[in-house]
Structure 1
Amino acid sequence: MHNMESLKIFLELARLSKAAYASPIAHKYHSYKGKPFDDQRIIHGSIGRGFCRIFWNIESVVICFRGTRESVDWQISNLKAFPVKLRDCPEASNTLVHRGFQKTLNYDDKTTKLRSLDAILRCLEENSLLDKKIAITGHSLGGALAILFAVKLRSSHPDKVRENLESIITFGSPAVGLSTFKKFYGKLGEKTVRLINSSDAVPFTPPLFYQHVGSEIWLQNEGISTSGGWLVRLVKALKGPASNFSSDHSIVQYILKLKALINSQTNSLER
């Protein structure tokens, strides 16, 4: 899943993930599969700040989760790594996920006064968005939320997910759950792609017992690898400056790397 068309879709979703950090967003300047969006909604989470944007056009809906923007995000979400039971999925038994990530979906949306997860679902239902092709995305913490939201959406709307979910694309996402979650995630893994830029440290976290889902695409200066694995990435990362662990996590760097890869493929096709 890394031909030219796929890379262009990754770039569109990376740009959306970057835009999710800002407010407001001019949705008409963003697109999915080359088609601009017609409308959007924002869902607010902790302390009144928007953490989820829903964009759509006549064909598709993209549910985009914002990543860590301020230190309070780490205090609220990222540092609470103690595993807890997965909520909102009655069919799951003893499925354990990151406490902080799950808690983020439980904050109240300031607009609807609903729990954030319920506010997202209501927006999707009231606008008939689950009848469109569905993509879920996010950077950093947003990538973790995208993965966690996907199983909750499947639980509440299994038929719509089976028929219309196209992809779950994350950028620099940490792991979300233990082996029980990976097993429960099941076939969603076939539609999940985790992009990792060079020495980005966040995909190494949380370090103990947590397991990634889906397939991995490792973006490097020399090209793309789909068979790196965390140990290979760690060995290479340790050979470079320690600052790369942090700088390579920036969504801006993901965008620049994808642009470079697209340009490289374009040039090679023109030769």
Structure 2
Amino acid sequence: MKKLKRYQYERYAVLCKVTYQTDFDPQYLGFSRDNYVEIANRWGHICARVLWRDDHPEVLVVFRGSQTVHEWLINLLCLPKVKQFDDCYYHVHYGYDYLLEQLSNPISPEYLDDKSIFQQLYTIVNPLISLGKRITLTGHSSGGAMAILAADRLERQFPKSIKRVVTFGQPAPGFRNFQRQYLLHRRTYRICCGVDIVTFLPPFPGLFCHVGRMLWLHNERIYDNISPLKRFLLSFTSWLLSPFVSHYMHKYIRDKDFFDDL
């Protein structure tokens, strides 16, 4: 497994942040509007963005996390959904699968009638993969879970088409049999930050499982593939000690940039 470099981390993190914005401008990020497609959910909210350059072999797919009350409620649907392919089947989180399989908003010319979010994505990346480009998927929160599920399906339909998957604050997307069948463990990076409770959800340890390589950013360190129990205990300890940790001098030094505005 290759290391995730700092500039790659920053690039995907910025993409995940700005994809929440309604005034998203691909040109601000160096992409032409001709090489940019939005995918909207059934309510007309943009939930995924696809960007690429003619002179670069990578296509970026960015999924937005939950914003509306309805989307947050869908996250609570912790039921198993069976997904079956030619050579296997597995169980995924019903809610995250629904977010990916819901009908897209049929507004022409960008959207097609009677197509799901995933089918829209398939229609966009299929010709790009035919040109030799490879797909990187990223997303925050439930958008990270959607990126995982979409990446696995694309890899089954287009072998070796996925370059990498990078998620931020992502809940577990499927059951243990999904973890065993997932094709992209060595190309998936799951970023967790501090005491992020969402990364421990759904709250059924041993039933819902994560995939790929976990990188936990905690107390100015990066922990690589730390066990969930150890991470929980360290997180809980940090929460208990947080009033005292704030007293350390390095915390004051790290916040020196605030004084630039005085």
CA drift at 1:92: 2.2
Worse-matched range after superposition: 9-18 or 124-133? 124-133
Q: How does 1:203-214 map to 2 (within 5 A)?
A: 203-208=199-204, 209-214=207-212
The residue that corresponds to 2:259 in the other structure is none
Worse-matched range after superposition: 126-135 or 196-205? 126-135
For residues 68-102 of structure 1, the C-alpha deviation after alignment (integer angstroms, 9 at most, x for no partner) is 112211112x1111111025x33322x10000010
Q: How does 1:159-178 map to 2 (within 5 A)?
A: 162=160, 164-178=161-175
> Which amino acid is the alignment partner of residue 172 of structure 1?
G
> Which amino acid is the alignment partner of residue 45 of structure 2?
R
The residue that corresponds to 2:219 in the other structure is 221
- In the aligned structure 2, how far is the partner of 1:141 from the partner of 1:193? 15
The residue that corresponds to 2:121 in the other structure is 120
- In the aligned structure 2, how far is the partner of 1:63 from the partner of 1:213? 19
- Which of the residues 39, 42, 46 maps onto 1:46? 42
The residue that corresponds to 2:250 in the other structure is none
Worse-matched range after superposition: 106-115 or 49-58? 106-115
- Which of the residues 183, 186, 189 maps onto 2:185? 189
CA drift at 1:240: 3.6
- Which of the residues 81, 87, 90 maps onto 1:91? 87
Do the aligned partners of 1:61 and 1:132 also contact (CA within 8 Å) in 2? yes
- In the aligned structure 1, how far is the partner of 2:196 from the partner of 2:24? 26
The residue that corresponds to 1:37 in the other structure is 31
Do the aligned partners of 1:46 and 1:104 also contact (CA within 8 Å) in 2? no
Do the aligned partners of 2:154 and 2:162 also contact (CA within 8 Å) in 1? no
- In the aligned structure 1, how far is the partner of 2:131 from the partner of 2:175? 28
> Which amino acid is the alignment partner of residue 37 of structure 1?
F
Cα 1:81–1:130 shift into 2, 3 Å: farther
> Which amino acid is the alignment partner of residue 31 of structure 2?
F
The residue that corresponds to 1:22 in the other structure is 21
- Which of the residues 235, 251, 257 maps onto 1:237? 235
Using CA pairs under 8 Å that are at least 6 residues apart, name the structure with larger relative contact order, 1 or 2: 1
Q: How does 1:148-167 map to 2 (within 5 A)?
A: 148-158=149-159, 162=160, 164-167=161-164
Q: TM-score, normalised by structure 2?
A: 0.81
For residues 22-42 of structure 1, the C-alpha deviation after alignment (integer angstroms, 9 at most, x for no partner) is 123111222xxxxx3232111
- In the aligned structure 1, how far is the partner of 2:178 from the partner of 2:116? 22
CA drift at 1:212: 0.7
Q: Percent identity?
A: 29
Do the aligned partners of 2:151 and 2:162 also contact (CA within 8 Å) in 1? no
- In the aligned structure 1, how far is the partner of 2:213 from the partner of 2:219? 20
Q: Secondary structure, in 3 states, of the residue corresponding to 2:5?
A: helix
In structure 2, the gaps of 5 or more residues are 106-110, 243-253, 255-262
> Which amino acid is the alignment partner of residue 6 of structure 1?
K
The residue that corresponds to 1:13 in the other structure is 12
Cα 1:70–1:197 shift into 2, 3 Å: same
Q: Secondary structure, in 3 states, of the residue corresponding to 2:167?
A: strand
Which structure shows the higher helix fraction?
Answer: 1
Worse-matched range after superposition: 44-53 or 209-218? 44-53
Do the aligned partners of 1:61 and 1:129 also contact (CA within 8 Å) in 2? no
- In the aligned structure 2, how far is the partner of 1:130 from the partner of 1:224? 37
Cα 1:102–1:83 shift into 2, 3 Å: same
Confirm or deny that 1:103 pairs with 2:98: yes
Q: Secondary structure, in 3 states, of the residue corresponding to 2:174?
A: coil
Q: Secondary structure, in 3 states, of the residue corresponding to 1:131?
A: coil
Cα 1:192–1:50 shift into 2, 3 Å: same
Larger Rg: 1 or 2?
A: 2
C-alpha RMSD of the superposition: 2.1
Q: TM-score, normalised by structure 1?
A: 0.79
Q: Secondary structure, in 3 states, of the residue corresponding to 1:47?
A: coil
The residue that corresponds to 1:248 in the other structure is none
Do the aligned partners of 2:215 and 2:222 also contact (CA within 8 Å) in 1? yes
